[in-house]
């Protein structure tokens, strides 16, 4: 096929894909405007062939990774540490949030094994912590002890303390959690880990590139980052609220001894020294370049502007849900991600019927999750201009469903597919 035909075939293959451009999709995609999209394409386009496996051959990729880690360290509380601790922080780029959590899990297992002699380790985490921790537990043979969240959706620290024993290597907190957007009590989780002498990972995959700006804007006051005593590692996805192309997350370790456990190095074969910071060998350069580009293009002012727009849109949608009879938020969301659904009981609304009606009426797409039955909204800067239109549709659809009492027959939920 010639190049134009290849591209036109792809364009027609896409006809069933959700069109996120108009701001009607509330998961998977984060948009910050056409100027940012153009920059991402240009930056990735410069680096389609390069390989971050060996940064001696491509020093620019070593430099960009170093710079991304340095900037992220500042954003995630590293610069607030005393100078002697600040210089101990170590960080790496990974392919995404899942990989950062896999790394945190494996590092904790190896720390438990080498420092504590624990050979059947477990980690303690709330039911709201991301599914990738279960993947890590499965891959690396660590028992995942899930503990129910409280009614506000936050981790229950006392119950987590009870779930710990002398084989616990890791305590997990989220900032915020994916399912209900709640920032866990990180100071208490850090203190718990510190008291027991174990590691504490803060999953800020979702929040890492927006919470620092919401804090500056005065919308968040809960402590959540690497500067909280007892927190030993933290992860943040540049490809979410950093508005980068897919394929970049950052994991930071509070000290060099711990950070040293992540990379893998061998020369036990015929091909020479193989040093590797993450899962992959050959590593795509495009996401690193695009991530570096967007950080410097937006800068602090750009991220503050986007965080303000995102906060405004999320606040408008949340208050619309709060004030519409039959609709409720699930838990107590802290930031710009939340879950909502129908009120139970007489005059209530079936949550999945609500999702279907919103899709039929306005093409709105929300992921479905359970338990409890919920629709999930990741609000980003691209949603600012549609918040009012969405609210009008929510009010109309809720009125119809309260009158009809309709229930959806499809009760399935999906976050990811095989």
Ligand X SMILES: *Cc1c(COP(=O)(O)O)cnc(C)c1O
Minimal distance, residue 298 CB to ligand X, in Å: 19
Among 50, 156, 184, 203, the residue binding ligand X under the rule CB under 6 A is 203
Nearest to 211 by CA among 198, 195, 196, 222: 222
> Of 90-98, 225-233, 277-285, 395-403, which segment contacts ligand X by CB under 6 A?
90-98
Between CA 354 and CA 309 the distance in angstroms is 26
From residue 341, alpha-carbon distances to 85, 138, 240, 291, 318 in Å are 44, 32, 24, 35, 11
* Residue 245 contacts ligand X per CB under 6 A: no
Among 40, 75, 199, 205, the residue binding ligand X under the rule CB under 6 A is 205
* Residue 156 contacts ligand X per CB under 6 A: no
First CA to last CA across the chain, in angstroms?
Answer: 30
* Residue 97 contacts ligand X per CB under 6 A: yes
Question: Which is closer to ligand X, CB of 78 or CB of 136?
Answer: 136
> Of 144-152, 200-208, 252-260, 325-333, which segment contacts ligand X by CB under 6 A?
200-208
Q: What are the backbone dihedrals phi and psi of residue 101, each rounded to the nearest 5 degrees, phi first?
A: -75, -35
* Residue 237 contacts ligand X per CB under 6 A: yes
Question: Which is closer to ligand X, CB of 375 or CB of 401?
Answer: 375
Between CA 62 and CA 55 the distance in angstroms is 5
Residue 372 per-residue DSSP state: T
Centre a 10 Å sphere on the Cβ of residue 96 and count the other Cβ atoms it contains: 20
Question: Which is closer to ligand X, CB of 97 or CB of 190?
Answer: 97
Interface map 111-150 toward ligand X (x if CB under 6 A): -------------------x-x------------------
Residue with the CB atom nearest ligand X in the bound state: 97
* Residue 174 contacts ligand X per CB under 6 A: yes
Centre a 10 Å sphere on the Cβ of residue 191 and count the other Cβ atoms it contains: 16
Centre a 10 Å sphere on the Cβ of residue 76 and count the other Cβ atoms it contains: 29
Question: Which is closer to ligand X, CB of 130 or CB of 254?
Answer: 130
* Residue 198 contacts ligand X per CB under 6 A: no
The token duo for 214 is 């919401």
* Residue 58 contacts ligand X per CB under 6 A: no
Minimal distance, residue 135 CB to ligand X, in Å: 9
Among 27, 55, 72, 98, the residue binding ligand X under the rule CB under 6 A is 98
Q: What are the backbone dihedrals phi and psi of residue 153, each rounded to the nearest 5 degrees, phi first?
A: 90, 0
* Residue 222 contacts ligand X per CB under 6 A: no
Question: Which is closer to ligand X, CB of 288 or CB of 327?
Answer: 288
Cα within 13 Å of Cα(204), Cβ side: 31
- How many residues are recorded in the chain? 418
Q: Which residues pair with 329 in a beta bridge?
A: 340
Minimal distance, residue 309 CB to ligand X, in Å: 20
For residue 176, say if its preceding peptide bond is cis, omega within 30 degrees of 0.
yes
């Amino acid at each position: 096929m010639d190049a134009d035909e290849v591209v036109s075939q792809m364009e027609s293959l896409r006809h069933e894909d959700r069109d996120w451009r108009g701001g009607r999709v509330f998961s998977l995609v984060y948009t910050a405007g056409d100027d940012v999209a153009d920059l991402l394409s240009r930056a990735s386009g410069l680096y389609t062939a390069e390989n971050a496996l060996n940064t001696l051959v491509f020093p620019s990729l070593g430099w960009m990774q170093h710079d991304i880690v340095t900037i992220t360290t500042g954003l995630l509380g590293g610069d607030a540490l005393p100078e002697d601790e600040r210089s101990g922080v170590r960080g790496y780029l990974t392919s995404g949030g899942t990989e950062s959590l896999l790394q945190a899990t494996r590092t904790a297992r190896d720390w438990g094994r080498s420092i504590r002699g624990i050979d059947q380790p477990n980690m303690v985490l709330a039911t709201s912590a991301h599914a990738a921790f279960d993947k890590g537990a499965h891959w690396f043979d660590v028992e995942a002890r899930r503990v129910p969240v409280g009614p506000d959706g936050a981790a229950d620290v006392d119950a987590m303390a009870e779930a710990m024993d002398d084989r616990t290597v890791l305590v997990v907190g989220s900032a915020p959690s994916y399912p209900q957007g709640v920032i866990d009590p990180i100071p208490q989780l850090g203190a718990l880990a510190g008291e027991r002498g174990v590691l504490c990972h803060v999953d800020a995959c979702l929040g890492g590139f927006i919470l620092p700006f919401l804090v500056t804007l005065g919308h968040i006051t809960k402590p959540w980052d690497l500067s909280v005593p007892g927190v030993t590692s933290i992860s943040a996805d540049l490809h979410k609220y950093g508005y980068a192309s897919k394929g970049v997350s950052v994991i930071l370790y509070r000290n060099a001894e711990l950070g040293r456990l992540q990379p893998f190095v061998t020369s036990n074969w015929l091909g020479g020294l193989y040093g590797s910071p993450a899962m992959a060998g050959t590593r795509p350069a495009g996401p690193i370049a695009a991530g570096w580009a967007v950080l410097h293009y937006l800068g602090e002012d750009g991220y503050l502007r986007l965080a303000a727009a995102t906060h405004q849109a999320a606040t408008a949608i949340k208050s619309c849900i709060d004030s519409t009879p039959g609709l409720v938020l699930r838990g107590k969301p802290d930031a710009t991600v939340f879950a909502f659904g129908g009120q139970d009981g007489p005059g209530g609304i079936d949550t999945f019927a609500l999702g279907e009606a919103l899709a039929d009426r306005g093409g709105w797409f929300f992921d479905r999750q359970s338990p409890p039955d919920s629709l999930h909204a990741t609000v980003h800067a691209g949603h600012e201009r549609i918040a009012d239109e969405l609210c009008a549709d929510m009010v109309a659809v809720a009125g119809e469903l309260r009158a009809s009492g309709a229930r959806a027959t499809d009760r399935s939920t999906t976050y990811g597919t095989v």
